[in-house]
């Protein structure tokens, strides 16, 4: 492996003639390339089958690049390459360099140093130490070259430890330290049947070696092989009338069969398979691996990823794939992928060289494999949702985001209560406005509200937004402060409620917390037009509150009365916050709009008839089957239906 770098580290890529000469001088061999910025910080690491072709591609056809690649090229001031002997070597080196440099434009596994492996050592004779004849499997965080077998990596240390606890009920290997083992006395583990008692010589070295083999067999997913080995040993013990050993083996066999029964069996799957999924949101993502062995799902792992906000789905997948399989110790026969990798053939070759057997990479759109891919994606999505919740409850992070938002928008106070509004309709029909509330950068779902737009006809988002704002602030009460004072102070107090109007009919009603608190910021899904409509509605109501719109096209922020939009960096956490609030308002509006649209589509003429409510409608449908059946019925037949008199039946027939 050779490393090629420019002589002058300060040489910048703005010199086009020099750049062309450098690109032409690059080798056509496999290798790894590194882009760095003006400060010399590595901002991207990539691999290539042909270095010259790949690196040159970054500087040609820039307009056709993805936003992420354009930003990378704009920020790159230098590059260097490392030639490798093979694609496999480049794959491994890329993973090492990504871990070392943590480049901002790469997808990287977060905190991968914390991932655990289970190390299963081999018995060693001739050392004079019993501990070497009866070695102890254990947890490690780094794979060594010591002849032991390593299983992992496992993202969840707790899940791995729990699994090993169950495994020891099936295969009772020792877990004590070498110092404790040297005492020569059995401990509690032996009495609860989680150790075979090698310290007192209750199991031979040969049988203990067989136990370790069963551990490895079990961890590769072959529970059937372990069950068969235990069954054979149990039968042999019974034949020689060693009934105590036979009983112990029987209990282990029952434990194995119990575990096998709990595993999901997938018909038609006989090979060892990994099923990958990725879910992403901004600069973070979750990669998931569904582990299928001999037609059984034996586990699932999720891994936190980080990268640039403009990273595409296939780029997230490629980054996760390369780094996961650079560390994985057991390689499957098939890897199912949610989309194609940029270099499928090179990835396949690298896995086959490492595993020593044929490996298939497949993207499935139908059948059993497609169902497994959907499950892997659901697993990743669920883990990402959990991560969002964890972030929401990180008070320090939330405070930083709100301070950043206050500075970006030049707000008079910290925006602890943010209300966001969105309009959803279909060609102006079934129009719905949503109001979502975030308090301290966290969604307050109990405060969400929706408005069915009443006064607007046709697709007029401006008028619809104005109606929603008027109706929201008409519910604020008579003591709404006209100076825009916040109902949420910076000292952590709860938003004060505003009493309802003094009308006797409402004085006894409970104050709705969704409308009784004054917001610190109104976030509008839209640009200048929507913001202007909201400001006009607020002015008419005599209310002052900061308003900002978030336009979808370029994600620009439009503060009220500002002459030009505010553009935040694509990887700015403050932008992610307002995008998330906007997306939540959109999701909430769509939910209500779809419900109204479906209700209208499934409704009938009976819903519009005078004097026919839900009870009478059900009775008519039960009796006559449909609206056409009601039309054919006589007055006397309708009058016999529960809830109808002859007079009401006559009125109904007149309308029909």
DSSP string over 537-568: HHHHHT----EEEE-TTT--EEETT-SS-B--
346-392 pLDDT, tens digit each: 888 888 888 888 999 999 888 788 888 888 888 788 778 767 766 66
Beta 296-306 vs 449-452: how paired, if at all?
A: unpaired
Whether the pLDDT of residue 143 is over 90: the answer is: no
Region 463-472: what's the mean pLDDT? 87
Measure the CA–CA gap between 89 and 30, rounded to whole angstroms: 9
Region 235-255: what's the mean pLDDT? 77
Measure the CA–CA gap between 464 and 581, rounded to whole angstroms: 20
Confidence of residue 500 (pLDDT cuts 50, 70, 90): very low
Q: What 3-state DSSP class applies to 174? A: coil
Residue that wins the pLDDT comparison between 57 and 131: 57
Whether the pLDDT of residue 408 is over 60: the answer is: yes
Question: What was the pLDDT predicted at 575?
Answer: 87
Domains of the chain by start residue, with CATH? 2-106 (3.40.1440.10), 273-391 (3.30.420), 395-495+512-599 (3.30.420.340), 605-655 (1.10.150.20)
Give the least confident one: 5-19, 154-168, 290-304, 459-473: 5-19
Whether the pLDDT of residue 276 is over 90: the answer is: yes
Q: In b/e form, how buried is each residue of 370-384, taking b as 16+ CB within 10 angstroms? A: eebbebbbebbbebb
At 179, give phi and psi (nearest 5°). -65, -45
Question: What was the pLDDT predicted at 594?
Answer: 64
**What percent of the chain shows pLDDT beyond 90?**
7
Measure the CA–CA gap between 250 and 631, rounded to whole angstroms: 73
411-453 pLDDT, tens digit each: 999 999 999 998 886 555 667 888 999 988 888 888 898 888 7
Whether the pLDDT of residue 215 is over 90: the answer is: no
Most confident of 158-172, 284-298, 338-352, 505-519: 338-352
Question: What was the pLDDT predicted at 493?
Answer: 36
511-524 pLDDT, tens digit each: 677 787 889 999 98
Beta 108-109 vs 557-559: how paired, if at all?
A: unpaired
Residue that wins the pLDDT comparison between 547 and 475: 547
Interaxial angle between packed helices 573-602 and 395-409, expressed in degrees from 0 to 180 and rounded to the nearest 10? 90
Q: Tell me which DSSP letter residue 201 carries.
A: T
- pTM score, two decimals? 0.46
Whether the pLDDT of residue 116 is over 80: the answer is: no
Region 525-546: what's the mean pLDDT? 88
Whether the pLDDT of residue 288 is over 50: the answer is: yes
Averaged pLDDT score across all residues of the chain: 77
Region 641-653: what's the mean pLDDT? 82
Residues 6+ apart with CB under 8 A from 73: 58, 59, 62, 65
Measure the CA–CA gap between 285 and 313, rounded to whole angstroms: 10
Region 1-9: what's the mean pLDDT? 41
Question: What was the pLDDT predicted at 224?
Answer: 67
Omega before 153 within 30 of 0, i.e. cis = yes
Question: What was the pLDDT predicted at 491?
Answer: 35
Residues pairing with 300 in the sheet = 290
Give the least confident one: 165-169, 593-597, 619-623: 593-597
User: Cβ distance 440 to 405 under 8 Å?
Assistant: no
């Amino acid at each position: 492996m050779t490393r090629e770098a420019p002589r002058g580290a300060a040489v910048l890529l703005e010199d086009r003639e020099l750049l062309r000469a450098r690109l032409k001088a690059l080798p056509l061999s496999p290798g790894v390339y590194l882009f760095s910025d003006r400060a010399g910080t590595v901002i991207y690491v990539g691999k290539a089958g042909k270095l010259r072709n790949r690196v040159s591609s970054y500087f040609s056809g820039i307009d056709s690049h993805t936003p992420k690649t354009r930003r990378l090229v704009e920020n790159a001031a230098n590059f260097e390459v490392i030639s490798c002997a093979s694609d496999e070597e480049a794959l491994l080196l890329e993973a090492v360099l990504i871990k070392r440099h943590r480049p901002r434009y790469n997808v990287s596994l977060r905190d991968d140093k914390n991932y655990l492996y289970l190390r299963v050592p081999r018995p060693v004779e001739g050392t004079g130490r019993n501990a070497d004849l009866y070695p102890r499997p254990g947890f490690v965080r780094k794979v060594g070259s010591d002849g032991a077998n390593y299983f992992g990596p496992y993202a969840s240390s707790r899940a791995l430890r729990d699994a090993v606890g169950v495994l020891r009920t099936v295969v009772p290997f020792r877990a004590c330290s070498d110092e404790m083992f040297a005492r020569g006395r059995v401990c509690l583990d032996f009495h609860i049947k989680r150790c075979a008692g090698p310290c007192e010589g209750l199991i031979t070295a040969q049988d203990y070696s067989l136990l370790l083999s069963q551990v490895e067999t079990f961890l590769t997913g072959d529970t059937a092989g372990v069950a068969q080995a235990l069954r054979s040993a149990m039968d042999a013990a019974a034949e020689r009338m060693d009934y105590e050993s036979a009983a112990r083996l029987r209990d282990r066999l029952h434990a194995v069969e119990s575990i096998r029964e709990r595993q999901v069996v997938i018909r038609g799957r006989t090979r060892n398979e990994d099923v990958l999924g990725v879910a992403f949101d901004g600069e973070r993502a979750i990669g998931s691996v569904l582990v299928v062995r001999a037609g059984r799902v034996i586990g699932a792992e999720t891994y936190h990823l980080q990268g640039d906000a403009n990273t595409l789905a296939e780029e997230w997948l490629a980054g996760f794939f390369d780094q996961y399989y650079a560390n994985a110790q057991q390689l499957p026969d098939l890897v199912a992928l949610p989309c194609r990798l940029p270099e499928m053939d090179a990835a396949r070759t690298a896995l086959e060289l490492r595993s020593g057997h044929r490996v298939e990479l497949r993207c499935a759109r139908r059948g059993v494999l497609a169902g497994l891919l959907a499950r892997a994606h659901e697993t990743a999505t669920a883990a990402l949702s959990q991560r969002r919740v964890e972030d929401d409850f990180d008070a320090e992070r939330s405070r930083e985001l709100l301070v950043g938002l206050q500075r970006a928008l030049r707000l008079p106070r910290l925006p602890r209560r943010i209300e966001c509004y969105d309009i959803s309709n279909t060609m102006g029909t079934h129009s719905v406005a949503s109001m979502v509330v975030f308090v301290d950068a966290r969604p307050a779902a109990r405060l969400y509200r929706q408005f069915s737009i009443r006064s607007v006809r046709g697709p007029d988002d401006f008028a619809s937004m104005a109606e929603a704002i008027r109706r929201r602030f008409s519910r604020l009460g008579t003591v709404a402060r006209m100076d825009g004072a916040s109902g949420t102070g910076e000292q952590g107090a709860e938003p004060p409620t505003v009493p309802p109007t003094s009308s006797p009919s409402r004085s006894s009603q409970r104050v709705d917390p969704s409308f009784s608190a004054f917001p610190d910021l109104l976030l509008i899904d839209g640009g200048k037009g929507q913001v202007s409509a909201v400001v006009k509605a607020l002015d008419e109501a005599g209310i002052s509150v900061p308003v900002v719109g978030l336009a979808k096209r370029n994600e620009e922020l439009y503060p009220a009365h500002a002459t030009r939009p505010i553009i935040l960096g694509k990887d700015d956490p403050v932008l992610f916050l307002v995008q998330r609030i906007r997306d939540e308002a959109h999701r909430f509006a769509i939910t209500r709009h779809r419900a109204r649209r479906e209700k209208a589509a499934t409704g009938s003429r009976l819903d519009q008839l005078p004097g026919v409510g839900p009870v009478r409608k059900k009775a008519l449908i039960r009796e006559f089957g449909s609206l056409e059946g009601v039309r054919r019925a006589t007055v006397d037949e309708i009058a016999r239906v529960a809830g109808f008199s002859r007079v009401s039946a006559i009125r109904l027939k007149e309308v029909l």
